[in-house]
Amino acid sequence: MGSMRLGLAALAVLFGSITSHAAPTAEVLHFWTAGGEARAAQSLKSAFEARGGVWDDAPVAGGGGDAMAAVLRARVLAGVPPSVAQLKGQNIREWAEVGALEDLNDIAEQQDWDALLPELLKRSAQFEGEYVAVPLNIHRVDWIWANPKVLDQVGVLPPQTWEEFNEVADKLLAAGIIPLAHGGQPWQDVTLFEVVLLGIGGPDFYRQVYVDLDPEALQSETMIKVFDQMRKLSTYVDPSSPGREWNLATAMVMRGDAAMQIMGDWAKAEFLTAGLKPGEDFICVPSPSRGGYIINSDSFAMFTVDDPEQQAGQQLMASMLLDEDVQKEFNLLKGSIPARLGVNLDGFDECALKSNEDLVHNEARGTVVGSIAHEFVQSGAIRGAFLDVVTEHFNTDMSSQEAVRRLAETVMLAD
Protein backbone atom coordinates (compact mmCIF):
# COMPACT_ATOMS: atom_id res chain seq x y z
CA MET A 1 0.00 0.00 0.00
CA GLY A 2 2.69 2.41 1.11
CA SER A 3 4.98 1.59 -1.78
CA MET A 4 2.11 1.88 -4.23
CA ARG A 5 1.31 5.36 -2.98
CA LEU A 6 4.95 6.29 -3.28
CA GLY A 7 4.99 4.92 -6.81
CA LEU A 8 1.94 6.94 -7.73
CA ALA A 9 3.45 10.06 -6.26
CA ALA A 10 6.64 9.53 -8.23
CA LEU A 11 4.60 8.97 -11.35
CA ALA A 12 2.64 12.16 -10.73
CA VAL A 13 5.83 14.15 -10.26
CA LEU A 14 7.29 12.66 -13.43
CA PHE A 15 4.13 13.25 -15.39
CA GLY A 16 3.76 16.76 -14.03
CA SER A 17 7.31 17.66 -14.97
CA ILE A 18 6.86 16.29 -18.48
CA THR A 19 3.73 18.26 -19.21
CA SER A 20 4.96 21.46 -17.64
CA HIS A 21 8.19 21.27 -19.63
CA ALA A 22 6.28 20.71 -22.81
CA ALA A 23 3.79 23.56 -22.77
CA PRO A 24 3.24 27.18 -21.90
CA THR A 25 1.07 27.24 -18.80
CA ALA A 26 -1.34 29.83 -17.46
CA GLU A 27 -2.94 29.72 -14.05
CA VAL A 28 -6.11 31.73 -14.54
CA LEU A 29 -7.78 33.31 -11.51
CA HIS A 30 -11.35 34.35 -12.34
CA PHE A 31 -14.87 34.46 -10.93
CA TRP A 32 -16.86 33.21 -13.90
CA THR A 33 -18.40 30.22 -12.21
CA ALA A 34 -22.07 30.28 -13.16
CA GLY A 35 -24.18 29.72 -16.26
CA GLY A 36 -23.23 31.59 -19.41
CA GLU A 37 -20.16 33.11 -17.79
CA ALA A 38 -18.76 29.68 -16.97
CA ARG A 39 -19.37 28.57 -20.55
CA ALA A 40 -17.67 31.72 -21.84
CA ALA A 41 -14.61 31.00 -19.67
CA GLN A 42 -14.66 27.44 -20.98
CA SER A 43 -14.46 28.77 -24.55
CA LEU A 44 -11.28 30.68 -23.68
CA LYS A 45 -9.86 27.53 -22.13
CA SER A 46 -10.57 25.49 -25.28
CA ALA A 47 -9.01 28.15 -27.48
CA PHE A 48 -5.92 28.29 -25.24
CA GLU A 49 -5.53 24.52 -25.26
CA ALA A 50 -6.01 24.38 -29.03
CA ARG A 51 -2.98 26.66 -29.28
CA GLY A 52 -0.91 24.26 -27.22
CA GLY A 53 -1.26 25.90 -23.80
CA VAL A 54 -2.07 24.32 -20.45
CA TRP A 55 -4.92 26.16 -18.72
CA ASP A 56 -4.70 25.77 -14.96
CA ASP A 57 -8.18 26.83 -13.86
CA ALA A 58 -8.47 28.74 -10.55
CA PRO A 59 -12.07 29.90 -10.23
CA VAL A 60 -13.14 31.66 -7.02
CA ALA A 61 -16.91 31.85 -6.64
CA GLY A 62 -18.90 34.36 -4.69
CA GLY A 63 -19.53 37.99 -3.94
CA GLY A 64 -19.34 39.31 -7.49
CA GLY A 65 -15.57 39.01 -7.40
CA ASP A 66 -14.96 40.08 -3.78
CA ALA A 67 -13.80 36.60 -2.86
CA MET A 68 -11.49 36.54 -5.86
CA ALA A 69 -10.05 39.95 -4.99
CA ALA A 70 -9.22 38.69 -1.49
CA VAL A 71 -7.50 35.58 -2.88
CA LEU A 72 -5.56 37.67 -5.38
CA ARG A 73 -4.35 40.08 -2.72
CA ALA A 74 -3.29 37.26 -0.40
CA ARG A 75 -1.38 35.50 -3.18
CA VAL A 76 0.45 38.61 -4.34
CA LEU A 77 1.42 39.41 -0.74
CA ALA A 78 2.65 35.83 -0.30
CA GLY A 79 4.81 36.20 -3.42
CA VAL A 80 2.96 33.56 -5.49
CA PRO A 81 0.65 35.53 -7.80
CA PRO A 82 -1.42 33.71 -10.42
CA SER A 83 -0.02 34.25 -13.90
CA VAL A 84 -3.35 35.55 -15.24
CA ALA A 85 -6.18 37.22 -13.29
CA GLN A 86 -9.54 38.71 -14.19
CA LEU A 87 -9.37 42.42 -13.38
CA LYS A 88 -11.09 45.58 -14.43
CA GLY A 89 -11.03 49.34 -14.44
CA GLN A 90 -9.40 50.96 -11.49
CA ASN A 91 -8.07 47.69 -10.08
CA ILE A 92 -5.83 47.33 -13.13
CA ARG A 93 -4.39 50.75 -12.34
CA GLU A 94 -3.92 49.98 -8.64
CA TRP A 95 -2.09 46.72 -9.32
CA ALA A 96 0.02 48.39 -12.00
CA GLU A 97 0.93 51.14 -9.53
CA VAL A 98 2.50 48.64 -7.14
CA GLY A 99 4.42 47.13 -10.06
CA ALA A 100 2.73 43.73 -10.00
CA LEU A 101 1.68 43.61 -13.65
CA GLU A 102 3.59 42.39 -16.68
CA ASP A 103 4.08 44.85 -19.53
CA LEU A 104 2.36 43.63 -22.72
CA ASN A 105 3.58 46.32 -25.10
CA ASP A 106 5.42 43.97 -27.50
CA ILE A 107 2.32 41.97 -28.31
CA ALA A 108 0.18 45.09 -28.37
CA GLU A 109 2.45 46.65 -30.98
CA GLN A 110 2.63 43.46 -33.00
CA GLN A 111 -1.15 43.17 -33.14
CA ASP A 112 -1.73 46.92 -33.27
CA TRP A 113 -4.12 47.09 -30.30
CA ASP A 114 -4.14 50.88 -30.63
CA ALA A 115 -6.19 50.51 -33.79
CA LEU A 116 -8.36 47.65 -32.55
CA LEU A 117 -9.65 48.94 -29.22
CA PRO A 118 -12.15 51.69 -28.44
CA GLU A 119 -10.49 54.70 -26.79
CA LEU A 120 -11.92 54.11 -23.31
CA LEU A 121 -10.86 50.45 -23.20
CA LYS A 122 -7.43 51.41 -24.43
CA ARG A 123 -7.06 53.86 -21.58
CA SER A 124 -8.31 51.40 -18.96
CA ALA A 125 -5.89 48.69 -20.16
CA GLN A 126 -2.89 51.02 -20.06
CA PHE A 127 -0.81 52.37 -17.22
CA GLU A 128 1.52 55.26 -18.01
CA GLY A 129 1.28 54.48 -21.69
CA GLU A 130 2.07 50.76 -21.37
CA TYR A 131 -0.46 48.00 -21.95
CA VAL A 132 -0.85 45.97 -18.75
CA ALA A 133 -4.16 44.22 -19.45
CA VAL A 134 -6.20 42.79 -22.33
CA PRO A 135 -9.87 43.83 -22.55
CA LEU A 136 -12.16 40.89 -23.28
CA ASN A 137 -15.64 42.28 -23.85
CA ILE A 138 -18.00 45.23 -23.78
CA HIS A 139 -21.18 45.27 -21.75
CA ARG A 140 -23.50 48.22 -22.16
CA VAL A 141 -25.09 49.47 -18.94
CA ASP A 142 -27.65 52.05 -20.15
CA TRP A 143 -30.41 49.75 -21.37
CA ILE A 144 -34.11 49.54 -20.68
CA TRP A 145 -35.48 45.99 -20.86
CA ALA A 146 -39.22 46.06 -21.38
CA ASN A 147 -42.11 43.67 -21.76
CA PRO A 148 -43.89 44.85 -24.97
CA LYS A 149 -47.18 43.13 -24.04
CA VAL A 150 -47.39 45.08 -20.82
CA LEU A 151 -46.57 48.36 -22.59
CA ASP A 152 -49.33 47.54 -25.14
CA GLN A 153 -51.85 47.03 -22.35
CA VAL A 154 -51.69 50.71 -21.49
CA GLY A 155 -50.93 51.72 -25.08
CA VAL A 156 -47.52 53.31 -24.63
CA LEU A 157 -44.22 53.11 -26.48
CA PRO A 158 -40.80 52.74 -24.85
CA PRO A 159 -39.81 56.20 -23.58
CA GLN A 160 -37.29 58.36 -25.46
CA THR A 161 -36.85 61.09 -22.85
CA TRP A 162 -37.05 61.13 -19.07
CA GLU A 163 -40.26 63.22 -19.22
CA GLU A 164 -41.75 60.52 -21.41
CA PHE A 165 -40.45 57.90 -19.02
CA ASN A 166 -42.33 59.57 -16.17
CA GLU A 167 -45.54 59.83 -18.23
CA VAL A 168 -45.33 56.18 -19.24
CA ALA A 169 -44.62 55.14 -15.67
CA ASP A 170 -47.56 57.15 -14.33
CA LYS A 171 -49.89 55.46 -16.82
CA LEU A 172 -48.58 52.03 -15.84
CA LEU A 173 -48.97 52.89 -12.18
CA ALA A 174 -52.58 53.95 -12.79
CA ALA A 175 -53.20 50.60 -14.50
CA GLY A 176 -51.88 48.75 -11.45
CA ILE A 177 -48.63 47.63 -13.04
CA ILE A 178 -45.22 48.10 -11.42
CA PRO A 179 -43.46 50.49 -13.84
CA LEU A 180 -39.87 49.73 -12.86
CA ALA A 181 -38.57 46.33 -11.77
CA HIS A 182 -35.67 47.03 -9.46
CA GLY A 183 -33.58 45.31 -6.85
CA GLY A 184 -32.81 47.61 -3.94
CA GLN A 185 -29.12 46.84 -3.58
CA PRO A 186 -26.62 49.70 -3.55
CA TRP A 187 -24.95 48.77 -6.85
CA GLN A 188 -28.34 48.58 -8.56
CA ASP A 189 -29.35 51.95 -7.13
CA VAL A 190 -26.14 53.42 -8.55
CA THR A 191 -26.83 51.72 -11.90
CA LEU A 192 -30.05 53.76 -12.06
CA PHE A 193 -28.16 56.83 -10.91
CA GLU A 194 -25.52 56.72 -13.62
CA VAL A 195 -28.08 56.03 -16.31
CA VAL A 196 -30.04 59.10 -15.16
CA LEU A 197 -26.79 61.07 -14.83
CA LEU A 198 -25.96 60.37 -18.46
CA GLY A 199 -29.54 60.98 -19.58
CA ILE A 200 -29.99 64.35 -17.88
CA GLY A 201 -26.42 65.64 -17.77
CA GLY A 202 -25.04 64.27 -21.04
CA PRO A 203 -21.64 62.61 -21.56
CA ASP A 204 -19.51 65.68 -20.76
CA PHE A 205 -21.26 66.37 -17.48
CA TYR A 206 -21.11 62.64 -16.70
CA ARG A 207 -17.33 62.76 -17.04
CA GLN A 208 -17.01 65.92 -14.97
CA VAL A 209 -18.88 64.23 -12.13
CA TYR A 210 -17.63 60.68 -12.41
CA VAL A 211 -14.08 61.01 -13.67
CA ASP A 212 -12.91 64.49 -12.63
CA LEU A 213 -15.00 64.62 -9.43
CA ASP A 214 -15.33 68.32 -10.26
CA PRO A 215 -16.75 70.03 -7.12
CA GLU A 216 -18.66 72.56 -9.24
CA ALA A 217 -20.35 69.86 -11.29
CA LEU A 218 -21.04 67.82 -8.16
CA GLN A 219 -22.88 70.77 -6.60
CA SER A 220 -24.52 72.05 -9.76
CA GLU A 221 -28.18 72.58 -10.57
CA THR A 222 -28.00 69.63 -12.98
CA MET A 223 -27.06 67.31 -10.11
CA ILE A 224 -30.21 68.41 -8.27
CA LYS A 225 -32.24 67.52 -11.37
CA VAL A 226 -30.57 64.11 -11.45
CA PHE A 227 -31.56 63.43 -7.86
CA ASP A 228 -35.09 64.76 -8.57
CA GLN A 229 -35.42 62.11 -11.26
CA MET A 230 -34.02 59.47 -8.88
CA ARG A 231 -36.75 60.44 -6.41
CA LYS A 232 -39.30 59.95 -9.21
CA LEU A 233 -37.85 56.52 -9.98
CA SER A 234 -38.04 55.52 -6.33
CA THR A 235 -41.81 55.98 -6.54
CA TYR A 236 -42.05 53.68 -9.58
CA VAL A 237 -40.52 50.76 -7.71
CA ASP A 238 -42.55 48.25 -5.71
CA PRO A 239 -42.20 48.35 -1.91
CA SER A 240 -40.67 44.86 -1.66
CA SER A 241 -37.63 45.77 -3.73
CA PRO A 242 -34.98 46.25 -1.00
CA GLY A 243 -32.43 43.46 -1.08
CA ARG A 244 -33.83 41.84 -4.25
CA GLU A 245 -31.35 40.28 -6.68
CA TRP A 246 -31.23 41.84 -10.16
CA ASN A 247 -32.25 38.63 -11.91
CA LEU A 248 -35.42 38.40 -9.81
CA ALA A 249 -36.27 41.90 -11.02
CA THR A 250 -35.69 40.67 -14.58
CA ALA A 251 -38.09 37.80 -13.89
CA MET A 252 -40.76 40.36 -12.88
CA VAL A 253 -40.51 41.88 -16.36
CA MET A 254 -40.71 38.42 -17.96
CA ARG A 255 -43.84 37.51 -16.00
CA GLY A 256 -45.46 40.84 -16.81
CA ASP A 257 -45.67 41.93 -13.16
CA ALA A 258 -43.48 44.87 -14.06
CA ALA A 259 -43.03 46.75 -17.33
CA MET A 260 -39.37 47.78 -17.49
CA GLN A 261 -35.98 47.20 -15.94
CA ILE A 262 -32.90 49.41 -16.24
CA MET A 263 -29.90 47.08 -16.25
CA GLY A 264 -26.81 46.15 -18.24
CA ASP A 265 -27.03 43.65 -21.07
CA TRP A 266 -26.26 40.64 -18.86
CA ALA A 267 -30.02 40.83 -18.20
CA LYS A 268 -30.45 39.65 -21.79
CA ALA A 269 -28.98 36.27 -20.84
CA GLU A 270 -31.85 35.81 -18.36
CA PHE A 271 -34.47 36.42 -21.05
CA LEU A 272 -32.71 34.17 -23.55
CA THR A 273 -32.23 31.38 -20.99
CA ALA A 274 -35.98 31.50 -20.33
CA GLY A 275 -36.50 30.87 -24.04
CA LEU A 276 -37.85 34.35 -24.83
CA LYS A 277 -37.26 36.10 -28.15
CA PRO A 278 -35.80 39.58 -28.47
CA GLY A 279 -38.17 41.94 -30.25
CA GLU A 280 -41.19 39.73 -29.49
CA ASP A 281 -41.25 38.67 -25.85
CA PHE A 282 -38.91 41.37 -24.66
CA ILE A 283 -37.40 44.50 -26.17
CA CYS A 284 -34.19 46.36 -25.50
CA VAL A 285 -34.01 50.13 -25.92
CA PRO A 286 -31.18 52.41 -24.84
CA SER A 287 -32.23 54.43 -21.81
CA PRO A 288 -33.19 58.03 -22.58
CA SER A 289 -30.17 60.22 -23.32
CA ARG A 290 -28.91 62.69 -25.90
CA GLY A 291 -26.14 60.33 -26.93
CA GLY A 292 -23.69 58.43 -24.81
CA TYR A 293 -22.83 54.85 -24.05
CA ILE A 294 -21.95 53.51 -20.59
CA ILE A 295 -19.36 50.74 -20.71
CA ASN A 296 -18.57 47.90 -18.39
CA SER A 297 -15.76 45.59 -19.45
CA ASP A 298 -13.68 42.71 -18.10
CA SER A 299 -9.97 42.23 -18.74
CA PHE A 300 -7.24 39.73 -18.13
CA ALA A 301 -4.05 41.07 -16.56
CA MET A 302 -0.75 39.19 -16.35
CA PHE A 303 1.02 39.23 -12.98
CA THR A 304 4.81 39.14 -12.90
CA VAL A 305 6.00 35.56 -12.32
CA ASP A 306 9.41 33.84 -12.45
CA ASP A 307 8.51 30.46 -13.90
CA PRO A 308 9.47 30.35 -17.64
CA GLU A 309 6.52 28.10 -18.57
CA GLN A 310 4.14 30.51 -16.90
CA GLN A 311 5.78 33.42 -18.71
CA ALA A 312 5.38 31.60 -22.02
CA GLY A 313 1.76 30.96 -21.06
CA GLN A 314 1.21 34.69 -20.46
CA GLN A 315 2.61 35.55 -23.87
CA LEU A 316 0.41 32.95 -25.54
CA MET A 317 -2.65 34.13 -23.61
CA ALA A 318 -2.09 37.82 -24.37
CA SER A 319 -1.58 37.16 -28.07
CA MET A 320 -4.72 35.00 -28.26
CA LEU A 321 -7.36 37.03 -26.43
CA LEU A 322 -8.07 39.63 -29.12
CA ASP A 323 -8.21 37.05 -31.90
CA GLU A 324 -11.38 37.57 -33.93
CA ASP A 325 -12.76 34.03 -33.48
CA VAL A 326 -11.89 33.88 -29.79
CA GLN A 327 -13.61 37.24 -29.23
CA LYS A 328 -16.68 36.17 -31.15
CA GLU A 329 -17.19 32.89 -29.37
CA PHE A 330 -16.47 34.29 -25.90
CA ASN A 331 -18.85 37.20 -26.31
CA LEU A 332 -21.66 35.16 -27.85
CA LEU A 333 -21.65 33.06 -24.68
CA LYS A 334 -21.10 35.97 -22.30
CA GLY A 335 -23.91 38.09 -23.78
CA SER A 336 -21.61 41.03 -24.44
CA ILE A 337 -20.05 42.34 -27.64
CA PRO A 338 -16.39 41.99 -28.67
CA ALA A 339 -13.88 44.36 -27.09
CA ARG A 340 -12.13 44.87 -30.43
CA LEU A 341 -13.80 46.80 -33.18
CA GLY A 342 -14.57 45.35 -36.60
CA VAL A 343 -15.46 41.78 -35.66
CA ASN A 344 -18.01 40.14 -37.97
CA LEU A 345 -21.17 39.90 -35.85
CA ASP A 346 -23.02 37.11 -37.67
CA GLY A 347 -25.00 35.09 -35.15
CA PHE A 348 -25.34 37.89 -32.56
CA ASP A 349 -28.89 38.90 -31.59
CA GLU A 350 -30.48 42.24 -32.41
CA CYS A 351 -29.74 43.77 -29.00
CA ALA A 352 -26.03 43.04 -29.46
CA LEU A 353 -26.15 44.47 -32.97
CA LYS A 354 -27.82 47.63 -31.68
CA SER A 355 -25.21 47.83 -28.92
CA ASN A 356 -22.40 47.55 -31.45
CA GLU A 357 -23.95 50.12 -33.77
CA ASP A 358 -24.31 52.62 -30.91
CA LEU A 359 -20.78 51.87 -29.74
CA VAL A 360 -19.29 52.70 -33.12
CA HIS A 361 -21.42 55.83 -33.35
CA ASN A 362 -20.50 57.05 -29.86
CA GLU A 363 -16.87 56.07 -30.30
CA ALA A 364 -16.72 58.40 -33.30
CA ARG A 365 -18.19 61.24 -31.22
CA GLY A 366 -16.08 60.48 -28.16
CA THR A 367 -19.11 59.93 -25.94
CA VAL A 368 -18.34 56.47 -24.57
CA VAL A 369 -18.13 56.64 -20.77
CA GLY A 370 -17.33 54.20 -17.97
CA SER A 371 -19.54 52.82 -15.21
CA ILE A 372 -18.95 53.41 -11.50
CA ALA A 373 -21.58 50.91 -10.37
CA HIS A 374 -19.54 48.21 -12.08
CA GLU A 375 -16.16 49.44 -10.87
CA PHE A 376 -14.95 50.48 -14.30
CA VAL A 377 -13.92 54.00 -13.32
CA GLN A 378 -12.76 55.31 -9.93
CA SER A 379 -11.29 53.60 -6.90
CA GLY A 380 -13.22 51.46 -4.46
CA ALA A 381 -13.34 54.33 -1.97
CA ILE A 382 -14.89 56.83 -4.41
CA ARG A 383 -17.29 54.23 -5.73
CA GLY A 384 -18.25 53.53 -2.12
CA ALA A 385 -18.99 57.20 -1.53
CA PHE A 386 -21.37 57.27 -4.50
CA LEU A 387 -22.98 54.01 -3.36
CA ASP A 388 -23.55 55.32 0.17
CA VAL A 389 -25.17 58.61 -0.76
CA VAL A 390 -27.19 57.43 -3.75
CA THR A 391 -28.64 54.46 -1.91
CA GLU A 392 -29.35 56.56 1.18
CA HIS A 393 -31.20 59.12 -0.96
CA PHE A 394 -33.11 56.45 -2.89
CA ASN A 395 -34.32 54.72 0.27
CA THR A 396 -35.26 57.76 2.38
CA ASP A 397 -37.14 60.98 1.81
CA MET A 398 -33.88 62.94 1.67
CA SER A 399 -34.23 66.08 -0.46
CA SER A 400 -32.23 66.43 -3.68
CA GLN A 401 -30.40 69.48 -2.24
CA GLU A 402 -29.35 67.49 0.81
CA ALA A 403 -28.23 64.57 -1.39
CA VAL A 404 -26.10 66.86 -3.55
CA ARG A 405 -24.52 68.43 -0.47
CA ARG A 406 -23.79 65.04 1.07
CA LEU A 407 -22.46 63.58 -2.16
CA ALA A 408 -19.92 66.39 -2.59
CA GLU A 409 -18.88 66.04 1.05
CA THR A 410 -18.60 62.23 1.02
CA VAL A 411 -16.70 62.15 -2.26
CA MET A 412 -14.17 64.69 -0.96
CA LEU A 413 -13.80 62.65 2.23
CA ALA A 414 -13.10 59.46 0.29
CA ASP A 415 -10.66 61.00 -2.17
Partner 1 sequence: MSNPRQRKQQMSVLDRLQRYLPQLVVAPPFLLLVFFVYGFIAWTGIISLTDSRMLPSFDIQGFQQYARLFAMDRWDVAFHNLLIFGSLYVLFALMIGCLLAVLLDQHIRAEGALRTIYLYPMAISFIVTGTAWKWILNPSLGIESYMQKLGWESFQFDWIVNRDMAIYVVVIAAVWQASGFVMALFLSALRTVDEDIIRAAHLDGASTTRIYIGIILPSLRPVFLSAFVILAHLSIKSFDLVVALTNGGPGYSSTLPANFMYEMAFRRNQIGLGAASAMMMLATVAAIIVPYLYSELRAKHHG
Amino acid in position 144: I
Q: What 3-state DSSP class applies to 261?
A: strand
Binding piece for partner 1, criterion CB under 8 A, among 128-136, 208-216, 319-327, 386-394: 386-394
Shorter beta-carbon distance to partner 1: residue 244 or 268: 244
Query: Residues 71 to 110: which contact partner 1 by CB under 8 A?
Result: 73, 76-77, 94-95, 98
Residue 77 C-beta: closest distance to partner 1, Å:
7
Residue 266 C-beta: closest distance to partner 1, Å:
20
Q: Name beta bridge partners: 293.
A: 368
255 binds partner 1 (CB under 8 A): no
Shorter beta-carbon distance to partner 1: residue 23 or 305: 305
Cα separation of 299 and 88, whole Å? 6
Shorter beta-carbon distance to partner 1: residue 319 or 379: 379
Q: What 3-state DSSP class applies to 327?
A: helix
Which residue from 39, 380, 399, 405 is in contact with partner 1, where contact means CB under 8 A? 380
Instruction: Quote the Cα angle for 387-392-395, to 5°.
Output: 120
Binding piece for partner 1, criterion CB under 8 A, among 54-62, 68-76, 101-109, 286-294: 68-76
Amino acid in position 289: S
391 binds partner 1 (CB under 8 A): yes
Q: Does residue 128 come out as left (phi exceeding 0), alpha (psi in the -120 to 50 range) or beta?
A: left
Radius of gyration of the chain (CA): 23
Which residue from 49, 57, 66, 307 is in contact with partner 1, where contact means CB under 8 A? 66
Pick the closest to residue 125 from 155, 150, 93 (CA basis). Answer: 93
Pick the closest to residue 86 from 46, 157, 13, 137 (CA basis). Answer: 137
Pick the closest to residue 231 from 56, 36, 403 (CA basis). Answer: 403
Residue 402 C-beta: closest distance to partner 1, Å:
12
Residue 150 C-beta: closest distance to partner 1, Å:
18
Cα separation of 146 and 261, whole Å? 6
Which residue from 40, 54, 69, 269 is in contact with partner 1, where contact means CB under 8 A? 69
> Using CB under 8 A as the criterion, which residues of the chain lie in contact with partner 1 when the complex forms?
66, 69-70, 73, 76-77, 94-95, 98, 184-186, 238-243, 379-381, 383-384, 388, 391-392, 394-396, 406, 410, 413
